[in-house]
Amino acid sequence: MGLRIALFGQAPFGRDSLVRLLDAGHEVVGVYTPPEGRRPDPLAEEAETRGLPLFRHRRFRRGGAAIPELVQEHTRLGAELNVLAFVTAILPPEIVDEPAHGSLCFHPSLLPRFRGGNALAWQILLGAETSGVTVFRPDAGVDTGPIVVQKGPVAIGPTDTAATLYFEKLYPLGLDAIAEAVAAVADGSARYAAQDESRASHQGLVDDDTARIDWQKDARTLDRWVRGCDPQPGAWALRGDERIRLFDGRFEGAVSGGAPGEVVGIREGRVELAALGGRISVGRVRIGEGPKQAAADSPLATGERLD
């Protein structure tokens, strides 16, 4: 039996979640996406194409409290379940708990590890070897609610970035996990397992302070830093007075030579940088406010040193 669902989300993952839910026979009574940005949102476009009620709000709280008119708007939909597929806005409990079956939320890690809004990046930054996805019922904490479905583990490879980990490995698992969790709620077979707090970890957002390259760290750590901050915000160092952001990172082994941060060569289209205990290389860079470009085509020259 299908459910009446309010879907909160954005981007291709939100769109594909919508399609999966509709194909499974559920009725999506409302779609919530962020306001219009510089690029069209795939979920919003799909909702409009299908003639579904579309709501675009930047936030659902004002002064720490739920915005009453948005709560009323949601209540009028008569949803039996909320599905949160790639949601960045913080929803108040008046919306999260309002449907008869509450809400289900997707998270790109094997909870309770790597709670927080930048789980993808932190799994690579901190050297996790495996990852997975979780669908849980949100509560008052940050990613602390009982688990309904988990899928994984999948290996995090030595060249994975936050982007490849998500799009190539976790994205399809996440769609399957959402479909499975919603089906379990619909047929009454869903089981809610409390998270093991003894295994829990929480990391903050990866901002520019976090993304700055520290040349006192060893080469393997810096390789993870570049890959974990790829594509956003981009691990960075200084080239003169400008920030240079490094992408498409790779550990090149325990090769000696050069001071940490020094460009020691350009090989096979990649710029190699010396670091403690080895070398890393990058395939793309962004200098200042310019566009991303192939590292080998950038002004970086052998012998110069990034600060």
3-state secondary structure 233-286: CCEEEEECCEEEEEEEEEECCCCCCCCCCEEEEEECCEEEEEEECEEEEEEEEE
pLDDT at 64: 87
Q: Which residues pair with residue 136 across a beta bridge?
A: 105, 147
User: What are 295's two structure tokens?
Assistant: 């590292």
Condensed to tens digits (0 to 9), the pLDDT of residues 90-133 reads: 999 999 999 999 999 999 999 999 999 999 999 999 999 999 99
In this prediction, residue 210 has a pLDDT band, given cuts at 50, 70 and 90, of very high
How far, CA to CA in Å, does 160 sit from each of 3, 140, 208, 237, 294? 37, 33, 21, 21, 18
d(CA 86, CA 145): 16
Residue 26 half-sphere exposure toward CB, CA atoms < 13 A: 30
Q: What is the pLDDT of residue 12?
A: 97
What per-residue confidence (pLDDT) applies to 118? 97
Contact 43/19 with Cβ under 8 angstroms? Answer: no
Q: Give the pLDDT confidence score for residue 38 in this predicted structure.
A: 87
Q: Give me the residue spans of the domains in the chain.
A: 4-199, 208-297
State mean pLDDT over 195-220: 97
18-22, 36-40, 162-166, 203-207: range with lowest mean pLDDT: 36-40
Q: What pTM did the predictor assign?
A: 0.95
Q: Provide the CATH topology of domain 4-199.
A: Rossmann fold (3.40.50)
pLDDT of residue 187: 97
pLDDT > 70: percent of the chain? 100
Q: Give me the mean pLDDT over the 175-188 stretch.
A: 98
Q: Which contacts (CB < 8 Å, 24+ apart) does range 60-64 have?
A: 60/89, 60/90, 60/91, 60/92, 60/95, 61/90, 61/92
Neighbours of 13 (CB within 10 A): 22
**pLDDT for 1 beyond 80:** no
Q: How far apart are CA 213 and CA 236, in angstroms?
A: 6
Q: Which value, to the nearest 10 degrees, does the dihedral of the CA atoms of residues 130, 134, 139, 141 take? A: 10
Pairing of strands 103-107, 81-85: parallel
Measure the CA–CA gap between 22 and 150, rounded to whole angstroms. 22
CATH of 208-297 among 3.40.640.10, 3.40.50.620, 3.30.43.10, 3.10.25.10: 3.10.25.10
pLDDT confidence tier of residue 37, bands split at 50, 70 and 90: confident
